[in-house]
Amino acid sequence: MSPFLFWIFAGLMLVFGAGVVLNRNPVASALSLVVSFLGLAALFMSLDAYFIGIIQVLVYAGAVMVLFLFIIMLLDLRAEKLRKINWLASAGGIAVAVALSVQILYVIGNFRFSQQPFPPLARSTVDDVHHVGSLLFENYNLPFQIIGVLVLVATIGVVVLSKRELR
């Protein structure tokens, strides 16, 4: 991964991530979140995690954001433009966020591995889906089943919450 492409995708991700916060129209926020997630998927691929990048595009940029847009359309969120900004609260929020970012930058600056480049990978004949899959189904069987139960609970919760008159 060349530094040029890294900075392009990182910049894209951060600019559109800021767009999520700054846009007043929820639809515009959701669409900039999609672009931000695509930039993030590109960064995953630059870290040789191709499978995670694809999953990011499939699950987040594909399914989750469609659901967000559906909800925004469903709830018809346009009233927000009329509200005035509470400047004191905004200033407080920005101050806390700046303090957090300064703290993060300080910690990373003092982290002893942060200046080391990534070690090279061996030229492997099997792809990373293979590695993730064998690890998932050999070492992580129990968490996998627990994810199944979690998704089951989520399904039941969604049905109960959104069906007004249950049979």
Partner 1 sequence: MITLGDYLIVSGLLFTIGFAGVMLRRNIIIIFMCLELMLNAANLSLVAFSRFRVDAGLPNYNAQVFVFFIITVAAAEVAVGLAIIVALFRARQTTHVEDIASLKF
Partner 2 sequence: MIREYLPVLLQIIVAVGFAAAVLIVSVIVGKSGRRTRVKDTAYECGMVPQGEAQPRFGVKFYLVAMLFILFDLEIVFMYPWAVVYKETIGHSTLILWSMLSFISILMVGYVYALKKGALDWKK
> What residues numbered 105-124 form the site for partner 1, per CB under 8 A?
105, 108-109, 111, 113-124
Tell me the C-alpha distance between 55 and 128, whole Å.
Answer: 13
The entry of partner 1, partner 2, none near residue 106 (CB within 5 to 8 angstroms by kind) is none
The entry of partner 1, partner 2, none near residue 28 (CB within 5 to 8 angstroms by kind) is none
Neighbours of 34 (CB within 10 A): 20
Is 97 near partner 2 (CB under 8 A)? no
Is 159 near partner 2 (CB under 8 A)? yes
Task: Tell me which residue of 15, 13, 1 sits closest to 46, measured CA to CA.
Answer: 1
Task: Tell me which residue of 45, 46, 68 sits closest to 57, measured CA to CA.
Answer: 45
Is 107 near partner 2 (CB under 8 A)? no
Hunting for tokens 């695509």 — which residue is that? 38
Which 1-20 residues touch partner 2, going by CB under 8 A?
2, 4-5
Tell me the C-alpha distance between 33 and 69, whole Å.
Answer: 11
Which residue, 115 or 166, is less far from partner 1 as judged by CB?
A: 115
C-alpha pair distances (Å), 118 with each of 14, 46, 76: 22, 11, 47
Tell me the C-alpha distance between 140 and 51, whole Å.
Answer: 17
Which 64-83 residues touch partner 2, going by CB under 8 A?
64, 66-67, 70-71, 73-76
Question: How open is the CA angle 19-21-24, to the nearest 5 degrees?
Answer: 85
- As measured in angstroms, the least distance from the Cβ of 76 to partner 1 is 9
Q: What residue ranges bind partner 2 (CB under 8 A)?
A: 2, 4-5, 51, 55, 58-59, 62-64, 66-67, 70-71, 73-76, 129-130, 132-134, 136-138, 141, 144-145, 147-149, 151-152, 154-156, 158-160, 162-164, 166-167
